[in-house]
Structure 1
Amino acid sequence: MKKLHYTTLLLILSISTSANCDIESYYSKLPTHLSGYEFKSKLSSLLAKTHKGLSYSALLKAYKKTDKDTTYDVDNSVMDMYSERPGGKDPYRYIHSQRVCGSYKNEGDCYNREHLFPQGLFDKKRPMKTDIFHVYPTDGKVNGMRGSYPFGEAKEVRWSSKNGSKLGYSNNPEYKGLVFEPIDEFKGDIARAMLYFAVRYESQIPRFGYTPMTDGSYEQTYSTWFLKTLLKWHKEDPVSEHERKRNDAACGFQRNRNPFIDHPEWALAIWEVH
């Protein structure tokens, strides 16, 4: 009887978990008649309410499911946006749980956890520090070169990674500082992760202080130049199969979702910039 009861309990938990991560069920109570920043706040409440925080070490374990390469090289290696060469041979590859960074000197030495919204801006506090929807496995050297620079489109390139990601001065007339530009294949992925962060942490971001990326408000959240870049990338690089798989798998660990992967149209329903 005890064994039967335990099995039944596991089955119930499994069904419950699947239901919570089902796209239609997850958003079923959202007031979809709203739009703009009012809708953004309701969506923020949903993401916060359902979010189950992870430990920092748990991210590496989760990556074995969320970030295994089943769409590009299909070899179950670590799917790293900073080293992947779509349609070509990767310059190096990582096996999950092997060569996790301590120290590094060169590309290909080790991989670590890259905070797309730099963790120094929120003093490495949780749950931001361990939020899997903006913390990705990437090569340590490239992560270090990106540092805390905002994403953007670069000119006068100062450094390039082996897959073509680059660090250089922004070509945007509204911001002339250094920016990090990923390859085209992953610009939409990064944009949707950053838009997720703006919604999930809309009430906290104004307290992070000034950054070139943020405007100090909880409504628009990001600086106009940066938001325009993200929305441009979001439109030009549609949701990929890898993103959908990652979103589903990540929900199994963290219990919330990235709504801009599930509903790309919501980004433009929330933000209008000219």
Structure 2
Amino acid sequence: MKIAQVYSQCFALLLANCQTFASPIVYPDCIDVETFYADMPNSSDRALVHNFLRSSHRGKVPYSSPPGKADTWSALIDVDPENDTENPSFALENATVHLVYADYEFPAVPYGNPTDWDREHSWPQSRGVAGIAKTDLHALFSAMWGLNSSRGKKYYGDVECSAISSGKTSFCKSPAHEGSAYDTGTDNLAWMPPANMRGDLARALLYMDVRYDGDEGENVPDLVLTDCPSDSGEGATNMGFLSDLLRWHASDPVDNQERIRNEKICSRYQGNRNMFVDFPEMVEKIFGEPAVAIDKTAHVYPGCFSEHHEGVGGLRINSKY
């Protein structure tokens, strides 16, 4: 598998006097959407879509690298739509990253320290993200260190802090954490990002669900989106809440910033695109329509039973079966 490299002298903090960098186009077929999908079967069959996403995933970005080579830190700076890294006058000292939970641009350097930004796995590593999935830029975002830690491995979902007064949850907070956007929230189970980023994150997770099916040789388990997640057994690689994510996809549609990021990830690093960014209508064809919650504040959906949903009977369902 080809390792995407940045043919520059360095990234900030790697060499002291570096000012600029430029990333090459490694996969030119990524630039034109029609060209990229020319060989894909005209079908919404889940297995065919999975096979295409996997076969086109030609490049793996190292998680961390020595100076002068691309890794997930440098790639997140490069793919940020605000950074015109191909411009010869682009200065790294002026680069920014978009903070996914704060919802604003932040200086790209320095990074990786408690007061700086960190790499946020939208599908948490502790929920099955390993191997090539760990460095998949389609699901990797920038977030302040403290917000990354505060979210932990919580599912994504709508949060209604009115549940406090009804006694259905022991914890609820909005905004979710100091430094997060005003319209974020968190409770015992869920983390709700800002409205402007909900669709982006939803499409990232929908992509992960289809891209990673536990294929032999990839060292990645079957990643499953569901309304009925569990932390035990087969549920350990589940992520929720599917119906909330489907609603976020509809309420926060794809914008030009997301399209730019998708193209940069494909052409410069991985060789594959997030199909749900290019063809939003494919979401409903593959995942169907969102379910209506039995108890929205407690994240209880029809057919769910887990340790999180005591007293609610039924079978655990997910997007794949």
- Corresponding residue for residue 252 of structure 2: 237
The two structures have a TM-score, normalised by structure 1, of 0.74
How far apart are 1:68 and its partner, in Å?
A: 4.7
Residue number in structure 2 paired with 1:160: 177
**C-alpha contact (below 8 Å) 1:164/1:182 kept by paired residues:** no
Match of 1:125 in 2: 130
Partner of 2:62: 55
Code of the residue aligned with 1:181 in structure 2: it is M
Post-superposition CA distance 1:3-43 (Å, at most 9, x none):
xxxxxxxxxxx8883224421122112221x33xxx22111
Instruction: List aligned pairs for 1:167-182, cutoff 5 A.
Output: 167-169=185-187, 177-182=188-193
- Residues 91-240 of structure 1: matches in 2 within 5 Å? 93-94=106-107, 96=108, 98-102=109-113, 104=114, 109-122=115-128, 125-156=130-161, 157-158=172-173, 159-162=176-179, 163-164=181-182, 166-169=184-187, 177-203=188-214, 204-206=220-222, 213=229, 226-240=241-255
Partner of 1:66: 79
Change (3 A) 1:211 1:148: farther
Give the match's secondary structure for 2:282.
helix
Q: How many residues align?
A: 228
Q: Secondary structure, in 3 states, of the residue corresponding to 1:30?
A: coil
1:30 and 2:48 are equivalent in the alignment: no
Deviations 1:237-270 (A, max 9, x none): 0101110010011112111010000000000111
**Structure in which a larger fraction of residues adopt helix:** 1
Change (3 A) 1:270 1:195: same
**Whole-Å separation in 2 of the counterparts to 1:41 and 1:214:** 25
Partner of residue 169, structure 2? none
Amino acid at match of 1:132: L
2:28 to 2, 10, 18: 18
| Structure 1 gap ranges (5+) | 1-13, 170-176
AA aligned opposite 1:81: V
Distance, in Å, in 2 between the alignment partners of 1:235 and 1:115 is: 22
The yes-or-no answer on 1:80 pairing with 2:95 is no
CA-CA distance at 1:50 after TM superposition: 1.7
Kindly state the Cα deviation for residue 167 of structure 1 after the two structures are TM-superposed: 4.0
CA distance in 1, matches of 2:132, 2:26: 23
Asked if the contact 1:146/1:167 (under 8 Å) is kept, the reply is no
Q: Which amino acid aligns with 1:131?
A: D
CA distance change for structure 1 residues 205 and 165 in 2, over 3 Å: closer, same or farther? farther
Distance across 2 between alignment mates of 1:112 and 1:40: 33
Whether the 8 Å CA contact 2:117–2:142 is kept in 1: the answer is yes
After superposing on structure 2, the runs of 4+ consecutive aligned residues of structure 1 that deviate more than 6 Å are none
Distance 1:271 1:207 in 2: 14
- Label 1:100 to 1:270 Cα distance change in 2 as closer, same or farther (>3 A): same
Relative to structure 1, the CA distance from residue 198 to residue 187 in structure 2 (aligned partners, 3 Å threshold; closer, same or farther) is: same
Quick check: 2:77–2:83 contact (8 Å CA) kept in 1? no
Q: 1:16 to 1:134 in 2, by over 3 A?
A: closer
| Residues 21 and 256, structure 1, Cα contact 8 Å, conserved in 2 | no
Q: Residue type of the partner of 1:168? A: T
